[in-house]
Amino acid sequence: MNFNPQISNLPIYEAGKPIELVIREFGIEPQNVVKLASNENPLGCSPLVLEAMKESIKSANLYPDDSYYELKESLANLYNVNSKNIVIGSGSDQVIEFIMHAKLNPNTAMLSAGVTFAMYEIYAKHIGAKIYKTKSSQHSLDEIKELYNAHKKEIKVVFLCLPNNPLGECLDASDVYEFISSIDSDTLVVIDGAYMEFAKFKDSRKTINPSDIIKLSNSIYLGTFSKAYGLGGMRVGYGIANEQIITAISKLRAPFNITTPSLAAAIAAVKDQDFIVKTLQNNFKEMSIYEQFAKDNDIEFIPSYTNFITFIFDNSKDSTQICDKLLRQGIILRNLRSYGLNAIRITIGTNEQNIKVLEALKKEI
């Protein structure tokens, strides 16, 4: 059977390896597995969320409220925007997919940093759109602008991952706002704020406010419950933009695209901001242990505004070998070879997990 040509060349997203794999392949006890590969919250999620989910499954027979009224109201309140400025996705991944379908076709292009979230490229390829990436792996607004100016007519979507996964760097908000104002009104600038809670906590100059984004005619902010809120398994994300953009991309949303427990979880999660503060405090306290380790062992790292840190190795070391060796000991980290880098991305865990990782790493480098 023949399939659309863009399908045959499509790369497959390499997800973080699941705990089950390590248990099956290496016979490691589940409680001894340390999974710090997918930027999940090591503290779990808020206890209020677990309560709300338990309650919600009693109405498993009913479809959820498809308007997502209560969740949109909470997010509107949190970000000081209107419910009409919000679209809900099954993870912000799904909102990225909506955006691609709304703006791209095979005669158009998307633009991003050299090394950034792989799903941008994959969704663009679903559509057969062209992809431009900067030579620099990290975000350089000068390079992004240069590429944009050279291919202005084609480029309909520009992605800024702020802060950037998998490298961890983050642009200053003032530079981002200036950049958006230099982009044509028919090109959508997507601010992927999957880790914005972390960046904002570390340095207020990185804060992008959705309430500023909604005033612009060519930008959308994306947020997720998968990272700081600790709800990766529940698949809830959102887009915030001016009403015209939200109305258009909402047409691509199938009804009931998140489940009843997911909806209950997200609503409860917004209410427990103390849990977020705890998460952020643990994250940056523990991150400093990794930074010190890197300095002590001459490993290059990128100062991170996220819940992970990326170690970049020189040619004397091989990230694939190191990851494989750690995997056999039940430690799952993210090798960045598939991004063309001799580097490893480590999600910041609990103190106990981090000590285990660094002890194992010390032996293998």
| Contacts (CB under 6 A) with ligand PLP, residues 94-153 | 117
| Nearest-angstrom CA–CA distance, 109 and 324 | 36
Phi and psi at residue 304, to the nearest 5°: -110, 140
Q: Which of 161, 213, 228, 326 binds ligand PLP (CB under 6 A)?
A: 161
Q: Point out which span in 68-76, 142-150, 222-230, 355-363 binds ligand PLP (CB under 6 A).
A: 222-230
Q: Cβ(261)–Cβ(53) under 8 Å?
A: yes
224: contact with ligand PLP by CB under 6 A? yes
Question: For the purposes of burial, counting CB atoms within 10 Å of the CB of 154, is it exposed (0-12), middle (13-18) or buried (19 or more)?
Answer: middle
92: contact with ligand PLP by CB under 6 A? yes
| Nearest-angstrom CA–CA distance, 231 and 224 | 9
Q: Which of 93, 97, 121, 197 binds ligand PLP (CB under 6 A)?
A: 93
What radius of gyration do the chain's Cα atoms show?
20
Helix axes 47-56 and 260-271, enclosed angle (nearest 10):
150
237: contact with ligand PLP by CB under 6 A? yes
| Contacts (CB under 6 A) with ligand PLP, residues 32-91 | 91
Strands 188-192 and 219-224: parallel
Q: Using CB under 6 A, count the residues that bind ligand PLP.
A: 13
Phi and psi at residue 189, to the nearest 5°: -95, 115
Q: Point out which span in 104-112, 175-183, 220-228, 331-339 binds ligand PLP (CB under 6 A).
A: 220-228
The residue number whose beta carbon is nearest to ligand PLP equals 91
226: contact with ligand PLP by CB under 6 A? yes
| Nearest-angstrom CA–CA distance, 198 and 204 | 10
262: contact with ligand PLP by CB under 6 A? no
Q: Which is nearer to ligand PLP, 148 or 229 (CB)?
A: 229
192: contact with ligand PLP by CB under 6 A? yes
| Binding footprint of ligand PLP on the chain (CB under 6 A) | 91-93, 117, 161, 165, 192, 194, 224, 226-227, 232, 237
